[in-house]
Structure 1
Amino acid sequence: MTAKAPEPRPAPALPAVGPLLHELNGLRVAVLHPLDAEGRVLISHLQRIGSVVTQRWPVPPRLDADFDVVMLAIELDQRQPTTAFVASRSELSPPLIAIVGYENPSMLQLVLESGAVSVIERPLRPFGLLTQLLMARTLWRQRAAALAHIRKLEGRYATVSKLTMAKTLLIAREGLTEQEAHRKIQRLAMAGRTTVEEVAETVIATYP
């Protein structure tokens, strides 16, 4: 009798394109690019697909408004302002798309330091811009979801650690078993209409 081949795992669900395309209408885009001919072409095309564009140059120390996507021209003569701008960003800052004109070690290093989720090469062309915007927003959503999951796990771990420490202290102080210590913390939480984490913190804080 031959062994049955394992069934292939289903591919992870991908976001529907329709809602993403609809989102681009009104997408707030910060264009950190000189207002030259190329910059005007970029702004014009973004506006044509429904984005709300704000242009800044030179690179500002930080953004003074909320945006959904940042498009940043990587220029070596703007290394210091670019580094300061990147340092002002947080884990949940809007996704950044780098615009580069040529490749050399210094340019590539600056692109890597920028934390860009994608790169657009000069000369700029309308073709592919829509894809880059969709990819940037999709990657940002995935990163935000992953960070939220990590924070949730960290919170659970912190609660378990406090509870374990509080039970250990009760066992040492009152000679309880682990189950008795756990039930005592639960009773105190119910009586005080609070959480087991807060009771655990009180036990730890009041331990002599």
Structure 2
Amino acid sequence: MSRKPLPQHITFQALLRDLRNLHITLFHPDDEDRQAIQQQLLRIGCQTQTFWPPRPSLPATTDFLLVAVHPDIVLPNWIELQQTKRPTIIAIITYESPTMLESMLELEVDALLPTPIRSFGLLSTLVHARQINLQRQRLQRQIHRLDLKLQGAKDVLKAKHLIMKSRGLNEEQAYELLREQAMQQRISIETVSKNILTAQAVLKL
């Protein structure tokens, strides 16, 4: 059963409720820090799977990824490997170094969790990282919509010029012809334009 999307303006309570429905994958060596993280996740009510060393692919249900970054462990590029969605990512670090910072940049992490793990701080890190990830997703959707809109405008312009050249019409008449076709077929002008350009490309082959 899919979860309902969170509203655009997310409250702390909404984020907290959302956390309890998420599937968390934890990649961390079996030590005191891992035990502390697991205990806190259990108290929060998160559904957690724990592994070490990191697996080349994430479990299909992963919504949240907590991963210990070690200089001697090469981490897979899970962002490229994820086919469906990008999980929220928190990097767990023991110290700072150029190599570790580079790994975190490649991972595109949403937040950092320093060790040793304390009795508080994990919940606020989870909430903050989740909020950043949701904002990132909204921006990506907006960018995608703008890209589609821009491509549609380009297709309409190309289709108008093609009609003007082939039928000897001016720009206004060519656009009106596109609009009439869109109304008759009950599709958008952008779709009509794309179909015309596709047909032209096929006929040229």
Q: TM-score range by the shorter chain?
A: 0.7 to 0.9
Deviation by residue 1:40-92 (Cα, 9 ceiling, x = unmatched): 1111111111111110110100112222211000012212xx03445424694
- Is the contact made by 2:79 and 2:86 (CA closer than 8 Å) also made in structure 1? no
Match of 1:168 in 2: 161
Aligned amino acid, residue 92 of structure 2: I
Closer, same or farther in 2 for the Cα pair 1:202/1:99, shift >3 Å? Answer: closer
User: Mapping of 1:142-161 within 5 angstroms?
Assistant: 142-161=135-154
RMSD: 2.0
How many aligned residue pairs are there? 194
CA 1:45–1:166 in structure 2 vs 1: closer, same or farther (change >3 Å)? same
Residue 15 (structure 2) pairs with residue 20 (structure 1): yes
CA distance in 1, matches of 2:83, 2:130: 16
Alignment identity in percent?
28
Look up the match of 1:39.
34
1:109 aligns with 2:102: yes
**Is this contact kept in 1: 2:66–2:91, CA < 8 A?**
yes
Match of 2:35, as an amino acid? Answer: R
Taking a change above 3 Å as real, the CA distance of residues 70 and 206 of structure 1, as seen in their structure-2 partners, is closer
The one-letter code sitting in structure 2 at the alignment partner of 1:132 is T
Matched, 1:203 2:196: yes
Q: Indicate the SS of the match to 2:72.
A: helix
Letter in 2 for 1:37: E
Q: For the residues of structure 2 that align with 1:90 and 1:135, how far apart are their CA atoms?
A: 24
Question: Is 1:121 equivalent to 2:111 in the alignment?
Answer: no
* Structure 2 CA distance for aligned equivalents of residues 26 and 184 of structure 1: 51
Q: Which amino acid aligns with 2:187?
A: T
Q: Which has the larger radius of gyration?
A: 1
Tell me, yes or no, if the aligned pair for 2:92 and 2:113 is still in contact at 8 Å: yes
Tell me the CA shift for residue 140 of structure 1: 0.9
Deviating more after overlay: 194-203 vs 125-134? 194-203
Question: Using a 3 Å threshold, how does the CA distance of structure 1 residues 65 and 178 change in structure 2: closer, same or farther?
Answer: same
The unaligned stretches of length 5 or more in structure 1 are 1-12
Mapped to 2, the partners of 1:197 and 1:93 lie a distance apart of 30
Match in the other structure for 2:60: 65
